[in-house]
Each structure stands twice: as structure tokens, then as C-alpha cells.
Amino acid sequence: MATDRSIAICVVGYSATFWCSWAVNVNGYSSTLSDSGPADFANHTYAFTPLVALGGGASIEITLSSDFSFIATTTTFAERNVELYINVVPRTSGDTLVAGVDRVEIDRTGTQQIRYTFAPDAVIDANSEFELRVGNNTSGSLEALTTFSTSTGTTTIPADVEPIRNSSTLGLHKIQMDIYDGGLVADTEFLIFLNRKVTVTGDTTEEIPPFRFNGAPTSTV
């Protein structure tokens, strides 16, 4: 077990309310959603820097809070839609753990969890910068594909989608991350805020051009 290096990140909100997130052996952690609206679907991107080295068989577990959920459709959200970058370089992954290939597991019906396990020959240095992408923001994501056959007609394969449904509750939410390498070696909570969307009503098209006055300079420009 690595030395426990714990930190707390706190932010202040209205009425001097504080929200804190604890981290053990993790630095520089943040989460980004493609859509922060309540009950909307979104891609998630988790950025973090483990302060410990990781070897073959080490795993990262991301567990959604109980009011977030993965879509059930495997055709538009699969292992290809989970991708890990380390120091800006994408790793090779799939649904089977072999040398040179990490394994991705998605639990849609139980824990609402993603487990990313490193290949048996993996060697990851401490203080490496991680970015874990979940959704149709990965390099292997598929766009819609339409094919035509003289015997079966036209077939359309739908594109990959934003796969995580946000909570319907506004405000602060926490998503747990645990890193294992023989045992628990690092963990943190990502802070996510869901906001009410801003809408504009009425037609904002400008039909009357603005009046130009006191134009200067008067010479040739």
C-alpha cells in the first residue's frame, strides 16, 4: 500500500455553503459533462493525476451516484465508448484482458459502474496525467451508418450517443472513483453541479439595421 497522501478540495456556494471532496493519492482531479441539465444525457470526462505508480492488473472504478444511470442500449454505448488517455496518449482497450490491451467493463443494471483494468504488462508511472472519457467523445465512437442491399433493402445503424443520464435534481452531486493495485491505493470524489438551462423566448432577429452617425475618419481608409 502506498503512503496515504490525503487532500480536500472545497468550493463555496451561496449563503457561505461549503462543499468538499476528499482525495487520497490523487491530485488535479476534475470532471466535465457535455450537458449539465437535469435529467439530460451527457458524456463524462474525468481528469486526474494518481500520485502512485500502477502495474498490470491495476484497475480504476468509476461509480455513478444512485440518481445517475447508464443507458441500457449496447448498440450505441459499448466498451469502445470508454477510453483512457495517459499523458495525452490513448491506451488500447477492449472487452478482453490480454497483453497490450486493457479491459473495459460496464455494469448498467447493478452498480452503474465502469471498471477499467490495465493489461498484465502495463507499467504506469506515478504522477502521470489521466483523462478517462465516457461517451461518444472517444476516438472509437461510431457515427450513423446506412447500407443498402438489393435483397434486404436499406439498413441504418444508429450513431453512438451521450450515454449517462443526469440526475433530475439540481445542484451538487458526487461521483466516486477508486483505484486498486493489489488493494485500494487511491480514491476521490468528483464534484458535479447540475444547473437549470437558460432559454430565450421570442424572435430576436434584428430586421432594422443600426443607424450610423458621426462617422470618422472622413478621409480614405
Task: Label residue 198 by pLDDT band (50, 70, 90).
Answer: confident
pLDDT (average), residues 120-132: 98
Mean pLDDT value of segment 122-147: 93
Mean pLDDT of the chain: 87
pLDDT tens per residue, range 13-56: 444 444 556 789 999 999 999 999 999 999 999 999 999 999 99
Q: What is the pTM for the complete model shown?
A: 0.80
Cis peptide before 120 (omega within 30 of 0): no
Tell me which long-range contacts 138-141 makes (C-beta under 8 A, separation of at least 24): 138/80, 138/81, 138/82, 138/83, 139/83, 139/90, 140/80, 140/81, 140/83, 141/80, 141/81
The Cα 37–Cα 57 span in angstroms is: 36
Could you tell me the residue ranges of all domains in the chain? 6-194
Instruction: Quickly tell me which residue has 468538499 as its cell.
Output: 20
The one-letter amino acid code at 169 reads: T
- Say what the pLDDT of residue 159 is: 93
Instruction: Report the CATH number of the 6-194 domain.
Output: 2.60.40
pLDDT of residue 188 exceeding 70, the answer is yes
Least confident of 68-82, 118-132, 149-163: 149-163
Q: What is the mean pLDDT of residues 55-83?
A: 96
Q: Residue 12 pLDDT more than 60? A: no
**Helix-, strand-, coil-residue percentages of the chain, each rounded to 5:** 5, 45, 50
For residues 137-151, average pLDDT: 84
Q: Which of 50-59, 128-137, 204-213 has the lowest mean pLDDT?
A: 204-213
Tell me which of 183 and 147 has the higher pLDDT.
183
Residue 187 has φ and ψ, to the nearest 5°, of: -165, 160
What pLDDT was estimated at residue 176?
Answer: 96
CA dihedral 14, 16, 21, 26 (to 10 degrees): 100
